[in-house]
Amino acid sequence: MTDSRPAVLCLSGHDPGGGAGIQADIETVLSLGGHGLTLITAHTVQDSANVARIRAADLALLREQAAAVLADVKVGAIKIGLLGEPAQIAFINELIERTGVPVVLDPVLRAGGGTELACAALLEEMKRELLPRVDVLTPNALEARRLAGTQDLDAAGAALLALGARNVLITGGDEPGEAVVNRWHRDSGTPRTFSWPRLPGPFHGAGCTLAAAIATLLARGLPVGEALADAQAYVHATLQRAFAPGRGRRIPGRAP
Ligand code: PLP
């Protein structure tokens, strides 16, 4: 490895089907010129249609893994996806404090297939303890409404900024409409919108791909606005070459 390939520390779940989670992170980080360091927060049982079960990883083991990796490698950004249990948040905050690098959080609350992936305690702990330390939050519209406790997306963006996230990109893939409209909230003003032609979905693992792409571009030193724009363009390209590994949803074609 050389310094020209910045390291992105990814804390995500494992999807054995290879569509979402840590594999999405590894493929995305690699495609965009980074190197993925991986801490697996949870194991899941799932197929390309839905998640059946999730089990949190052992916290003591995660601590040992993080200590070994951070003593060895300089991290350029942190990407957080699916969390296994509320107790992982204090551990993650220690990593954020220790590294001092940009943090991207994809607040994974529910699988595309419908299974709930975050209990009420995890949601509350995420809002109270993690959001104030996040540089870029990437909820879809459903997650933004649930985290913010309001239906109106402008109000939700403002509420998530008030909870401490420095930038909020609310994605519109799960909203109706001919175009997918993503909204970047960074202060109390009108959000900047990005509009993309809607591609035939549904997809599995698109949210993980977006958050990992933003983290990699921030690790490469891009300003937030450029990282958000370029990461969305990357995700759009991966969705144009999406493929179906099984009988469920299609997954992004992340390899160039
Ligand atoms: N499994 C894991 C490990 C994930 O991280 C996620 C989402 O981030 C999912 C499943 C659900 O992915 P999707 O909502 O794209 O189906």
Q: Is 185 helix (H, G, I), strand (E, B) or coil?
A: strand
What phi and psi, each to the nearest 5 degrees, are found at residue 181?
A: -110, 120
Number of neighbouring beta carbons within 10 Å of residue 65: 16
Q: Which of 180, 80, 176, 85 is nearest to 133 (CA)?
A: 80
pLDDT given at position 249: 94
Q: Which of 158, 148, 37 is nearest to 101 (CA)?
A: 37
Enumerate domains of the chain plus CATH numbers: 7-240 (3.40.1190.20)
Number of neighbouring beta carbons within 10 Å of residue 15: 26
CA-proximal residue: ligand 1, atom 2 (nearest): 21
For residue 23 and ligand 1, the question of a CB distance below 6 A is answered with no
pLDDT given at position 128: 98
pLDDT given at position 3: 57
Strand partners for 55: 43
pLDDT given at position 1: 45
For residue 112 and ligand 1, the question of a CB distance below 6 A is answered with yes
The reply to whether the predicted model has a pTM over 0.85 is yes
For residue 140 and ligand 1, the question of a CB distance below 6 A is answered with no
Instruction: Kindly state the tokens that stand for 140.
Output: 């879809």
In DSSP notation, 1-60 reads: --TTS-EEEEEEEE-TTSSSHHHHHHHHHHHTT-EEEEEEEEEEEE-SS-EEEEEEPPHH
For residue 40 and ligand 1, the question of a CB distance below 6 A is answered with no
Q: How far is the CA of 68 from the centre of ligand 1 (A)?
A: 27
Q: Average pLDDT by consecutive 10-residue portion of the chain (256 residues)? A: 82 97 98 98 93 97 98 98 98 98 97 93 97 98 97 97 98 96 91 97 96 98 98 98 94 92
For residue 81 and ligand 1, the question of a CB distance below 6 A is answered with yes
| Sheet strands (E) in the chain | 7-14, 35-46, 51-56, 75-80, 103-105, 136-137, 167-170, 179-185, 192-197
d(CA 122, CA 87): 8
